[in-house]
Structure 1
């Protein structure tokens, strides 16, 4: 099983999604949240903060933890991988970010628009769960 974190950043009524580039190992060209592999003995919250800093250029002081929900587990037959995803929701005050090499585009969208995008597996359900349980 591969454990990863995924973060959804929220600013006002919009959320950030990022389009994965061709240099990543999995899900090239798919829209995603901010994500990364959890390393051995690493806390998911620490990993997700590092990933946000690396993938958006935002500093720790510019992101505000809102919540995490229980991990989402699933088997992806196309990739032949069992995933365990630790989802987090953060708020930010600014929407200017600097994407890194992993992504080729980003958008701030309304939550209900996520269904219009070709996303990584389980992202739509995860976003709806994060937003539902946060009163959005």
Structure 2
């Protein structure tokens, strides 16, 4: 596959008190509509990974997280909007401070899932591998 663009993404494995992981369902206007994903987003220019993670979590869920710890780095290739991307994901573990989730307009729903429940969902490419390895 010829790559058009490289993306660096920060992803959060956010767990609640029942040890379930927060997943967000993508809106109809996004690429991969209706697919589920971790709380994640692109690292912006001159932004450090931890700051990007905190920003994305706040923008996409409205909550704060604690006990943030880098877990791993993964990569995968995806196609979206006619382009081929190589995505590097910096994956962090985190605990939710408050469970009052308010999704952004990028998402239509959210849920807390264990691994068995999550892998049955239509997942954004790369998400299943992360969940499979880390849960």
Report the TM-score range of the alignment, normalised by the length of the smaller protein. 0.7 to 0.9
Alignment pair present for 1:31 and 2:36: yes
115-124 vs 64-73, which deviates more?
64-73
Task: Answer whether contact 1:58 1:97 (CA < 8 A) is retained.
Answer: yes
- Do structure 1's residue 111 and structure 2's residue 115 form an aligned pair? yes
What is the Cα-based RMSD across aligned positions, in Å?
Answer: 1.7
Question: TM-score, normalized by length of structure 1?
Answer: 0.83
Q: How does 1:1-136 map to 2 (within 5 A)?
A: 1-12=6-17, 13-24=19-30, 26-59=31-64, 63-77=65-79, 79-131=83-135
After superposition, the C-alpha distances for 1:68-117 in whole angstroms (9 at most, x for unaligned) are 22321122256511111111111114322101101001111122211110
Contiguous gaps of at least 5 residues in structure 2: 1-5
Extract unaligned runs of 5+ from structure 1: 132-136
Aligned positions, number: 127
Structure with greater strand percent: 2
Assess, with a 3 A threshold, how the Cα gap between structure 1 residues 90 and 75 changes in structure 2: closer, same or farther: same
Greater helix content: 1
Summarize deviations over 1:28-59 as a string: whole Å, max 9, x none: 22100111111112111110100001111113
Q: Which runs of 4+ in 1 moved over 6 A?
A: none
**Structure 1: distance between partners of 2:108 and 2:8:** 24
TM norm structure 2: 0.84
